[in-house]
Amino acid sequence: MKTISIIGASIGIASPMQGASLGPEAIRMAGLREKLRRLGKKVEDAGNLPSLEEPFPPKHFRKAAIRYPDEAREFLSLLKEKVLAALEQRHLPLVLGGDHSIAMASLSAAAGYYASIEKKPGLIWFDAHADLNTGETSPTGNIHGMPLAVALGKGDERLISLFEGRFFDPKRTAIIGVRSVDPLERDLVRELGVTVFTMKDIDDKGMTHCVRKALETASPDGNPYHLSFDVDVIDSQFAPGTATPVLGGVTLREAHLFMEMIAENGNAWSIDVAEVNPLLDHENRTSEVAVLLLESVFGKVIY
């Protein structure tokens, strides 16, 4: 049984609103460590990286320019080192965000580690957004909308250099729950050939079908994969505390089913959870939902 290494990534600078840097502590306050231990898991908590939020007064950037790339790159480099250290100890890194830029650190560490043990990794992206923007396509310049593009080798050199040339394969990448894609971002999705299951697909074919196909995409030969979980994939009636909610999301039961199927598969070797923003939440409800779902992905069942 792998030890779960909890790593707090207190970054909010890549998001349009302050508060995401408070996410790791809010998730811990919802009982994450205690509940994982009740499942019989070995848990080590590596604490948080120093918080990184937008400075006051904020810097001025020209319209649609990438915002705070150097500051984010420095933070993500430190986070990458922590995730890589956990993987090298044969632990399962569970990275708590923080905005979704954290995935660039999680994934660059995972790509490096898998290369060192000669395994070809996959990627499952559970998110309302495709996060496949680049500096040229993003309407906002917010880096939290770019991590998947960077992980697939597209984007600003300051960010893609984190990967040292070891990118994830678009053909082993699946996005589930997406319902908001920017116009130019859509072109890149098609160009790369990423497998996408929209909310329409979930409504039409069911979550079970979509997850099975996503697992076939990310782990066709039983290879390890990374799971990146953005809480805004959940409908905002269940998870209101996030910066970029989109109506018509995954229900809580559908999300549990998704996580239970990931647990049954057993090949998720690294996980991050992003975009919990306590300043936008109600009584820490979103953190509690995140913990419920993390319990499922680590094996909790009803009976």
Catalytic residues: 100, 127, 129, 131, 144, 230, 232, 275
Provide the strand spans (E) within the chain: 4-9, 43-48, 92-97, 122-126, 173-178, 195-198, 225-230, 268-274
- Within 13 A of 148's CA, how many CA atoms are on the CB side? 36
By DSSP bridging, strand 122-126 and strand 173-178 are: parallel
Reading phi first (left if > 0) and then psi (alpha if -120 to 50, else beta), residue 134 is in: beta
Question: Before 153, cis peptide (omega within 30)?
Answer: no
Q: What share of the chain is helix, strand, coil (3-state, %, to 5)?
A: 45, 15, 40
Degrees to nearest 5, angle at CA 299 with 236 and 105: 65
Element (H, E) at 86: helix 69-88
SS3 label, residue 257:
helix
